[in-house]
Structures are given as structure tokens and as C-alpha cells.
Amino acid sequence: MRFKRTRKGIEATVDPFEAEVLAQCATELLDLLGVELDEGDADPLAALVGLPSGDVEAPQDPALQRLLPHAYGDDDPEASREFRRYTDADLRAGKRASAGTVLATLPLEGGKLLLDPEQAGAWLACLNDLRLVLGTRLEVTEQTDAEDYAPEDPRRHALQVYGWLGWLQETLVESLMWRRKTDRRGAV
């Protein structure tokens, strides 16, 4: 699978195994982000503007912390808590929407994938989120190399998926950048 720019949009040919891996990753990301909470007893004014009625706890899961970091680090826990209250639901919703776009557009049996610019942006966001989660789970550093693990070690396979997701992300970015260059010069 490699993304490329065509006259129709951003295209890729997905084989069934790739579709299975991407679907599993996107589904696990959705599970990690959790379902949208129904604020049945919420403050009516807060609910009207889409805010939770109380504080929103920072995630304990390191991978989720990577996706939804503290706005002010450890310097100002009160400001971070307040910022999280105003942004957490929207950040999660955006990440869920991107993963949902991947699942909705992915040919699960393999085949041609055609994305419009908005869908390509959602794919790019989801691929980034998947890499952040996987990289955090695997404790990836610049020195991490899948070849350092035995062939039967599950971390080796997970690192190969991590590298593949990065390559997909790179080809998608290149396809989008090519589009921007041609848009500035005129339609291709």
C-alpha cells in the first residue's frame, strides 16, 4: 500500500492483510478513546455549550496521555485541569471521527482506496494517533530497531507495524504536498 496523488484524489491499493491490520488498529484506538459520555445530569448551561459539568480527570494510561497531554505540563496543574475541561471532549471526538473515517473508507476485503482531501486529512490524523499510541506502548526511542528482537518476539512485529504506519503517513504527506504544489501552479 502506498498513497499517491491522481486526478481523482489520493489513491492507494490495499491488500486484505493491510486492511485487517489498519482496521484492528483503528478499532483499538476507538476503544482506547472511549465512548462519548452522555451528561444526563449535566449543568444545563454547560451542556448547551458542550462542556462537562465538572472536572475532567487526566488519563492514567500513558498512551492516552500521549494523545491527550497536559496543556501546561506539571508547571500549572490547575490551568491544565481547566484547559482539559474545555478541550477533552472535542479532542476525543476529533480523534474518534478520524478513526471512524479510516474504518468507513477502508476496503476491508482489500482493493482500491480513493480519498478526497478531507478524508486524507482524517487518515493522516489517525495514522499519527496510531503511531503515538504504538510508540508509547513499545517505548520507542531513536535507537529502537525491530531487528534487535527475535523473530518470534511480538514486539518485533509491533515495531514493524509501527514502521509501516510511519511509511504510510510519509507517502500520504508526500501526496498531499504534491497536491498543494500543483494547486499553487494551476490544476494538473
115 near 123, Cβ under 8 Å?
yes
Cβ neighbours of 40 (radius 10 Å): 6
In whole angstroms, what is the distance from residue 161 CA to residue 174 CA?
20
> Residue range 50-62: average pLDDT?
73
Give start and end residues of each alpha helix (H) in 44-145: 44-48, 62-67, 77-105, 117-138
At 52, is the pLDDT very low, low, confident or very high (cuts 50, 70, 90)? low
Res. 68 pLDDT band, cuts 50 70 90: very high
89 burial class (0-12, 13-18, 19+ CB within 10 angstroms)? middle
Each residue's pLDDT tens digit, 141-178: 888 888 888 889 889 999 999 999 999 999 999 999 86
| Average pLDDT of the segment spanning 85-110 | 94
- Burial label, 175 (beta-carbon count in 10 A; 0-12, 13-18, 19+): buried
The pLDDT value given to residue 83: 87
AA letter at 132: L
- Give tens-digit pLDDT for 9-42: 999 999 999 999 999 999 999 999 997 644 444 5
Q: What is the pLDDT of residue 106?
A: 98
Strands 9-14 and 4-6, by their bridges, are antiparallel
Q: What is the DSSP letter of 33?
A: H
Length of the chain: 188
Q: Which residue has the higher pLDDT, 163 or 81?
A: 163
How many CB atoms neighbour CB 174 within 10 A? 14
Asked if residue 47 has pLDDT above 60, the reply is no
Burial of 49: CB neighbours in 10 Å, binned 0-12, 13-18, 19+: exposed
> For the chain, what are the domain ranges?
4-40+96-185
Q: Cα-Cα-Cα-Cα dihedral of 13, 21, 126, 135, to 10°?
A: -130
